[in-house]
């Protein structure tokens, strides 16, 4: 069954499709009223752990990430980088200059990746950054301000964009009920 953005978090439509049980929705609201926090029950065997955080840079109440938000790339060697991202770091660093072949022979594949180099940082950001992973996980839900109807509840903002200096991916949840229903 395909989940469209208009039917994922709609009270009556979601309940009719079996996506949101009215009893769960009521229980989540009661929990939020009593505790002032979203109802988040531990999953028996989570495949992916989605983290919610409050941060000053988010427009809505919560930001979402897979892993600690705004974290840095893990330490890895150039060889590990090449294997993980299927790119040649030597070519990325030095291109096809005249002395490329000589340099390639002496390149230290066991050295740690210099994450200050824009190519390596951007490659990690585009594929493994925590916000990018959350974006990939939730982007097809595309829940946002277009939710409509008298029984609409919850909101997710899924956005990608770029500035003059970088590209970004963000997923944000509006409130406690959005987090509870997302689970």
Question: What pLDDT band is residue 147 in, cutting at 50, 70 and 90?
Answer: low
pLDDT in tens, 46-79: 678 888 998 777 788 898 999 888 788 999 999 9
pTM: 0.69
- Angle, nearest 10°, between helix axes 130-138 and 118-127? 30
In terms of C-beta density within 10 A (0-12 exposed, 13-18 middle, 19 or more buried), how is residue 177 classed? Answer: buried
Rg (CA), the chain: 21
Alpha-carbon distance of 73 to 85, in angstroms, equals 13
Segments making up each domain of the chain, as ranges:
5-71+129-182, 78-110
pLDDT in tens, 6-18: 334 444 344 444 4
């Amino acid at each position: 069954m395909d989940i469209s953005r208009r039917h994922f978090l709609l009270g009556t439509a979601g309940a009719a499709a079996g996506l949101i049980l009215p009893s769960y929705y009521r229980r989540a609201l009661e929990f939020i009223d009593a505790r002032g926090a979203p109802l988040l029950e531990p999953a028996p065997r989570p495949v992916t752990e989605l983290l919610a955080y409050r941060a000053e840079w988010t427009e809505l109440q919560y930001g979402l990430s897979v892993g600690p938000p705004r974290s840095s790339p893990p330490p890895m060697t150039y060889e590990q980088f090449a294997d993980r991202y299927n790119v040649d770091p030597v070519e990325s660093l030095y291109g096809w200059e005249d002395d490329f072949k000589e340099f390639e022979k002496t390149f230290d594949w066991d050295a740690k990746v210099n994450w200050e180099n824009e190519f390596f940082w951007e490659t990690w950001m585009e594929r493994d950054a925590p916000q990018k992973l959350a974006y990939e996980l939730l982007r097809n839900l595309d829940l946002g301000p277009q939710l409509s109807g008298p029984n609409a509840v919850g909101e997710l903002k899924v956005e990608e964009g770029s500035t003059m200096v970088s590209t970004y991916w963000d997923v944000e949840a509006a409130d406690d009920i959005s987090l509870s229903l997302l689970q």
